[in-house]
Structure 1
Amino acid sequence: MIFFAFIIIAVAIVNIIYPSFGWHLRYGWMVKGDSEPSDAYLIMSRNSSVIVLIVFLIVGIPFLF
């Protein structure tokens, strides 16, 4: 259970710091040539990761202990 919590926190932090990494894993391989995610995608990806991290820290962490 602690390993699962660590994975969620790590993925959220990576997505906050480097949101285009997730785009390249999900969509980038389908596009031929050089293509980058839009600014709107990057902003929404960061915002959703911050929200997920906050909710997990408030709700999820107390259940681990």
Structure 2
Amino acid sequence: MVVFAILFVLIAILNIFFPAMGWYMRYGWMVKGDSEPSEAYLMMSRISSVIVLIIFFLFFLPSMFG
């Protein structure tokens, strides 16, 4: 369970700082030629990662160690 929690947090932090990497892994390989994620996608990806981390720390982390 702890390994899952660490992996979850690492992926969320990577998505906050490098959201384009997630876009390329999910959508970029399907597009021929040069294609970039929109600024709206990058911003929503960052915001959703922050929200998910906050929820994780508020609800799941205390139950693991408490």
Equivalent in the alignment of 1:17? 17
State how many pairs are aligned: 65
Alpha-carbon offset, residue 63 of structure 1: 1.4
The 2-side partners of 1:59 and 1:52 are apart by 11
**Deviations along 1:27-62, whole A, 9 cap, x unmatched?**
000001111000000000000000000110111101
Equivalent in the alignment of 1:47? 47
The 2-side partners of 1:38 and 1:23 are apart by 10
Higher relative contact order, structure no. (Cα contacts within 8 Å, ≥ 6 residues apart): 1
Structure 2, unmatched stretches of 5+, are none
- Match status 1:37 vs 2:40: no
2:14 maps to a residue whose letter is V
Normalising by structure 1, report the TM-score. Answer: 0.97
Normalising by structure 2, report the TM-score. Answer: 0.96
Equivalent in the alignment of 2:58? 58
Structure 1, unmatched stretches of 5+, are none
In the TM superposition, structure 1's runs of 4+ consecutive aligned residues that sit over 4 Å from their partners are: none
Aligned Cα root-mean-square deviation (Å): 0.5
